Amino acid sequence: MQKRKLGNTGLEVSAIGLGCMGMSFGYGPATDKQEMISLLHKAVDLGVTFFDTAEVYGPYTNEELLGEALSPLRDKVVIATKFGFQPDPNGGPRWIGLNSRPEHIKKVAEASLKRLKTDVIDLFYQHRVDPNVPIEDVAGAVQDLIKEGKVKHFGLSEAGAGTIRRAHAVQPVAALQSEYSLWWRKPEQEILPLLEELGIGLVPYSPLGKGYLTGKINENTQFDSSDFRNTLPRFTPQALKANQVLIALIQDIAQQKGLTPAHIALAWLLAKKPWIAPIPGTRKLERLEENIGAANVTLSTTDLQEIDSAAAKVELTGERYPEALEKLTGL
User: What is the chain's mean pLDDT, rounded?
Assistant: 95
Residue 331's closest CA among 179, 130, 213?
A: 179
4 in Cβ contact with 78 (< 8 Å):
no
Cα separation, 46 vs 169, in Å, equals 37
- At residue 157 the predicted structure's pLDDT band, cuts being 50, 70 and 90, is very high
Residue 304's pLDDT band (boundaries 50, 70, 90)? very high
Mean per-residue pLDDT, 110-116 = 98
Does residue 91 surpass a pLDDT of 90? no
Q: If you average pLDDT over residues 209-220, what whole number do you get?
A: 96
93 has a pLDDT exceeding 80: no
Residues 6+ apart with CB under 8 A from 193: none
b/e string for 84-109 if b means 16 or more Cβ within 10 A? Answer: bbebeeeeeeebeebbbbbebbbebb
Report whether pLDDT(331) > 90: no
Stretch 228-246: mean pLDDT? 96
Please give the pLDDT value at position 94. Answer: 73
Domains of the chain: 3-211+261-297 (3.20.20.100)
Q: Is the dihedral of CA 71, 296, 216, 279 positive or negative?
A: positive
What number of other Cβ atoms are within 10 A of residue 190's Cβ? Answer: 14
Per-residue pLDDT averaged across 267-283, rounded? 97
pLDDT at position 88 is 78
> Is 103's pLDDT higher than 70?
yes
In the residue annotation, 57 being an active-site residue is answered as: yes
Mean pLDDT, rounded, for 141-161 = 98
Mean pLDDT of 14-26: 96
pLDDT at 37 over 80: yes
Cα first-last separation, the chain: 31
Confidence category of residue 99, pLDDT binned at 50, 70, 90: very high
Q: Is 80 exceeded by the pLDDT of residue 187?
A: yes
> Of 27, 57, 180, 212, which one is the catalytic site residue?
57
- The percent of residues above 90 in pLDDT, for the chain, comes to 89
| Confidence at 329, pLDDT banded by 50, 70, 90 | confident
Rounded average pLDDT over 263-288: 97
Q: What is the pLDDT of residues 49-77, one digit of tens each?
A: 999 999 999 899 999 999 999 999 999 99
Sign of CA dihedral 295, 300, 301, 305: negative
Task: Name the band, by pLDDT with cuts 50, 70 and 90, for residue 330.
Answer: low
- Say yes or no to pLDDT of 90 above 90: no
What's this model's pTM, rounded to 2 decimal places?
Answer: 0.97
